[in-house]
Structure 1
Amino acid sequence: MTIETSSYRLLGRTGVRVSPLTLGTMMFGTNGNPDHDDSIWVIHTALDAGINIVDTADVYSRGESEEIVGKALAGRRDDVFLATKFHGPMSDTDPNQQGNSRRWIIREVESSLRRLRTDHIDLYQIHRPRPETDIDETLSALSDLVHQGKIRYFGTTTFLPSQIVEAQWTAERRNRERPVSDQSPYSLLVRHNERDLFPTLERYGLGQLPWSPLAGGWLSGRHGGDAPVVSSRARRQPARHDPTLPENALKLQKVLQLQELADEAGISLIHLALAFVLQHPVISSVIIGPRTLEQLQSQLDVGKVTLSPDILDRIDEIVPPGTTVDEADRGYRPPAPADSSQRRRS
């Protein structure tokens, strides 16, 4: 299956056209598929099918994912819109090898460039907010990297709407380059961003690259019958996957209803999930994260699926617009105040 170039979409107002599917590479490396050759084969298959945007991060298997991507793009770099991220801890002992400070950004971009075997990154993304760091500190460093040609654009990941606005206003007031995109969770089960984030992105002309369109595997079609298998995900992230928790029991109920709807429509649950995300007008490209070639191939031909208004209405009955079934799936929430001095400042 090859993605038609006519289906490519604009990334916000950058003028760059990206394929409707982004190849996410979190599952390549020690924490997913440790076989480099196999992972490279998956990447090459995605590129051959027409995917032109690849997304990774420094923390994915502590740099190993970036190294795999770098090897896979040898001889093909100019054809790919390459995205990576910074923020997460890259050391167990040095507290400054993480975060959104100028010191770390300037240092870590060099490491990512080396691992990716390239002289520039197309989209360099702030992997998570860091409220204790002045956003101007971050924007200033990223703007310098744009001017130096080491990155072409930068974006945010899982920012709150208020943080999106603050970044845009700070860029305007301080004459900085501004973020051009955002990544946030969005799926049939995680729809809270429809309320405020997506209208905010439209207002400022930012592209949205949603992650976890299959809700961490819940929408992969593997959950049949009355009880899901307790997977490794349940052991690593019990709040999101432990089937004994009431929130996840409700999630399973919704999944089974969505599976029934997909069966009635004659499509797979994967196609229902991806097509739903792609039909929102703010979406530039949806990030898929296959670990194997089989998983990739099950998602490539989603472009041929268009959901009718009747199906979209049925989806809204199962998971109402603007709601999220399990709060643990939100991706980022500001930390609660730790003591009374933070709650009451008078």
Structure 2
Amino acid sequence: MEYRLLGRSGLKVSAIAMGTFTFGGQGPFAMVGAQDAREARRLIDCCLHHGVNFVDTANMYSAGQAEEVLGEALAGRRDEVVISSKARMRIGDGPNDEGASRWHLIRECERSLKRLRTDHIDIYHIHEWDGSTPVEETMEALDTLIRQGKIRYSGCSNYTGWQLMKSLMASEKAGLARFVTQQIHYTLEAREAEYELLPIAVDQGIGVTVWSPLAAGLLSGKHRRDSPVAAGSRQDKGWSEPPIRDHDRLWRIVDELVDIARGHDVQAAQVALAWLLTRPAVASLIVGGRSVEQFEANFRAVTLTLSPEDLARLDAVSRPPLIYPHWHQAQFAASRFGIADRVLGECA
């Protein structure tokens, strides 16, 4: 396993992290998985054996059951892993049962600690932007949790560029702990993060962790143009995330992944993950699985080295267009680009 520093922090996380989206299986999450503590313990054993030290969850996964299952499955091994959790999404019917207010965040953190059977959460993310709560209140609440020892680091997930920068500015202006990480959706099929979020990560020292790095399995090679919905997959059960706006482009990417994988005697999924591990600021890829075999296959991505030709082929088939103002800057400002400015050019 490879370990990478998370942004400018001193925390090292494994290049592959274990996702717990499949733990619990309550409500719509049952489409993805419904693992109990016994099954979760078996998968955790596999991940720890292969050097994984980073496990990701959230308070809203299966309405808290994912955290409960994780807490039970980690009994006696809590100190072997970095635990990441999140709060912000609606988890009840009350007026304060969602959001990034001080009231909601502190209550949800304390609830998560009980479910996880731990006295601290290593990384605590704001799961989604909350435009109704002053950003200063959100950052102060996270700083309070850090000073109380209930969390070690804070991060955000699913923010836009301006929302992330506004949060960083608010924390620095008030002398509060700043975000060290952002958890984002980023794949060969979905490269929008290269416009703003990756350049910000490079410029501000924000470590990137990636959720659903295989686009909910669409980049695994199991889904193909002639059979777009694999039997037994989450799509087969009605799961609709992430949105695919250009299906022809998706299948061209999958075709390229399968062809490159064949040349390395690996699976398409491993090529897709290995590509992500070459991207700027990416620290860890959060992968889930319903079997030990799935996890073990994904671990091979860490040791897979893609050639410059492989990378060029993948870039060519998935390259995002230069939207404004990036195309204008590419024409007239490139001679004075800094390191962060060049991220998009290197990616695109």
Whether 2:3 is the aligned partner of 1:8: answer: yes
- Letter in structure 1 aligned against 2:35: P
**CA distances 1:155-202 after superposition (whole Å, capped 9, x unpaired):** 000111111111111111122211110011111111111222111111
**Match of residue 301 from structure 2:** 302
Query: 2: distance between equivalents of 1:17 and 1:291?
Result: 26
Which residue of 1 is the match for residue 124 of structure 2?
124
CA 1:132–1:234 in 2, change beyond 3 Å: closer, same or farther? farther
Do the aligned partners of residues 131 and 234 (structure 1) sit closer, same or farther apart at CA in structure 2, a change above 3 Å counting? farther
CA distance in 2 between counterparts of 1:182 and 1:306 reads 25
- Structure 2: how far apart are the matches of 1:238 and 1:283? 26
Tell me the secondary structure at the aligned position of residue 165 of structure 2.
Answer: helix
What's the offset of the Cα at 1:264? Answer: 3.2
Q: Is the CA contact (8 Å cut-off) linking 2:125 and 2:157 kept in structure 1?
A: yes
Give the CA RMSD over aligned residues.
Answer: 2.0
Given the superposition, is the C-alpha separation of residues 277 and 121 from structure 1 closer, same or farther in structure 2, using an over 3 Å criterion? same
> Closer, same or farther in 2 for the Cα pair 1:252/1:164, shift >3 Å?
same
- Deviation string 1:75-107 (CA, Å, 9 cap, x unpaired) is 11112111100011111x223111111111111
**TM-score after normalising by structure 1:** 0.86
Which residue of structure 2 lines up, in the alignment, with residue 71 of structure 1? 72
CA distance in 2, matches of 1:90, 1:39: 23
Aligned twin of 1:23:
18
Which residue does 2:238 correspond to in 1?
236
Q: Show the counterpart of 2:340.
A: none
Amino acid corresponding to residue 79 of structure 2 in structure 1: D
Q: Partners in 1 of 2:158 and 2:224 — Cα distance?
A: 31
| Change in CA separation of 1:156 and 1:312 when aligned onto 2, cut-off 3 Å | same
1:276-295 mapped onto 2 (5 Å cutoff) = 276-295=275-294
Shift of 1:246: 6.9
Match for 2:62: what amino acid? S
Alpha-carbon separation, structure 1, partners of 2:135 and 2:312: 40
| Residue 256, structure 1, aligned to residue 251, structure 2 | no
Contact 1:214 1:270 in 2 (8 A): yes
**AA at the equivalent of 1:273:** A
Measure how far apart 1:274 and its partner are.
Answer: 0.6
Q: Is the 8 A contact 1:8 1:17 kept in 2?
A: yes
**Aligned sequence identity (%):** 39
Give the drift of 1:39: 1.7
Q: Provide the rounded CA distance (Å) in 1 between the counterparts of 2:7 and 2:215.
A: 24
Q: Hey, what's the Cα distance between the residues in 1 that align with 2:122 and 2:141?
A: 16
How far is the alpha carbon of 1:247 from its aligned partner?
2.9
Match of 1:313 in 2: 312
Cα-to-partner distance string for 1:295-314 (whole Å, 9 max, x where unaligned): 11211222210111111000
Q: Could you tell me whether the CA contact under 8 Å between 2:209 and 2:284 is conserved in 1? A: yes
SS of 1:54's equivalent in the other structure is strand
How far residue 17 of structure 1 moved from its aligned partner, in angstroms, is: 1.0
1:189-217 superposed Cα distances (whole Å, 9 cap, x missing partner):
11111222111111111100011110111
Per the alignment, residue 207 of structure 2 pairs with 207
Q: Any conservation in 1 of the 2:185–2:213 contact (CA below 8 Å)?
A: yes
Shift, 1:235, TM fit: 5.5
1:270 Cα deviation (Å)? 0.9
Indicate the residue corresponding to 2:227 in structure 1.
227
AA aligned opposite 1:43:
I
Closer/same/farther in 2, CA of residues 198 and 261 from structure 1, 3 Å limit: same
How far the C-alpha of 1:49 sits from its partner, in A, is: 1.3
- C-alpha deviations, 1:224-282, integer Å up to 9, x for none? 452323654265344747xxx87334423432233223223432101101100011131
2:253, 2:314 within 8 Å by CA — same for their partners in 1? no
Larger mean Cα displacement after TM superposition, 154-163 or 287-296: 287-296
The question of whether the paired residues in 1 share the 8 Å contact of 2:58 and 2:85 is answered with yes
Asked if residue 85 in structure 1 is aligned to residue 80 in structure 2, the reply is no
- Where structure 2 has 5 or more consecutive residues not aligned to the other structure, the ranges are 324-348
Tell me, yes or no, if the aligned pair for 1:191 and 1:323 is still in contact at 8 Å. Answer: no
- Partner of 1:201, secondary structure, is helix
CA distance in 1, matches of 2:206, 2:308: 26
Match of 1:183 in 2: 183
In structure 1, the residue matched to 2:36 is 35
Number of the residue aligned with 1:174: 174
How many residues matched? 315
| Alpha-carbon distance in 2 for matches of 1:46, 1:239 | 26
Return the letter of the residue paired with 1:285.
S
Residues in 2 aligned to 1:270 and 1:190: alpha-carbon distance in whole angstroms:
15
User: What CA deviation, in whole Å up to 9, does each residue of 1:303-330 have, x standing for no partner?
Assistant: 2101111110001111115689xxxxxx
Structure 1 residues 264 and 322 mapped into 2: Cα distance closer, same or farther (>3 Å)?
farther
**CA 1:163 to 1:74, structure 2 compared with 1: closer, same or farther past 3 Å?**
same
The answer (yes or no) to whether the contact 2:127–2:157 under 8 Å persists in 1 is yes
Give the TM-score of the pair, scaled to structure 2: 0.85
The one-letter amino acid paired with 1:55 is D
